Amino acid sequence: VQWRVLNSQTGTFDDSAKANAENIHTAIINQFKTLKANGLPVGDLAGFQANVIGASALTSRVPAVWMTANPWRSIGPSNGYETTVAPEITVIGSVTESLATISNLGQVQIGYLPATADNPAVLITAVYLWDAFKDVDGTDTHVFVKISNLE
């Protein structure tokens, strides 16, 4: 009976986790642009972590990162977001995506790749979902990933 209840809720929990990834993505982009326009240091990983994500809900420009519950908290981590930003590398999204694992079910991972002379800064959010789905290439996956240029 418990499995049947869990099975009927997987879509709802996955939808909530995916919405968390999409919503925080938009909120971070908006705050990044505002902070950058106001001259605050957000260009490198340390500045992004300190000035966008912050060290707590009180210091964050996106307090939902600290205050949102994971829809899968009965199985996965209780916090809806990992608050330590993943340092991305040249294969954009690979580090953040690798952190979205079954052990972090439902918890959104946040990654950042600073701008270079040739490329804009990039934001990545990724979350491991219970149900597999087809990605844009038609491959089965459990990891929903969203990637955007920040500039």
* Tens-digit pLDDT profile for residues 126-146: 999 999 999 888 889 999 999
- pLDDT attached to residue 96: 97
Nearest Cα neighbor of 75 from 109, 105, 101 is 105
CA distance 88 to 94: 7
Q: What is the pLDDT of residues 64-107, one digit of tens each?
A: 999 999 999 988 889 999 999 999 987 789 999 999 999 999 99
- pLDDT attached to residue 7: 57
pTM, full prediction: 0.91
- Reduced to 3 states, what is the DSSP secondary structure of residue 87? strand
- pLDDT attached to residue 130: 93
- pLDDT attached to residue 6: 52
Listed as own residue / partner, the contacts of 89-94 with beta carbons closer than 8 Å and 24 or more positions apart are 89/113, 92/122, 92/124, 92/147, 93/124, 93/126, 93/145, 93/147
Contact between 40 and 51 (Cβ < 8 Å):
yes
CA distance 131 to 124: 21
pLDDT band at 8 (very low <50, low <70, confident <90, very high): low
| pLDDT over 70 (residue 5) | no
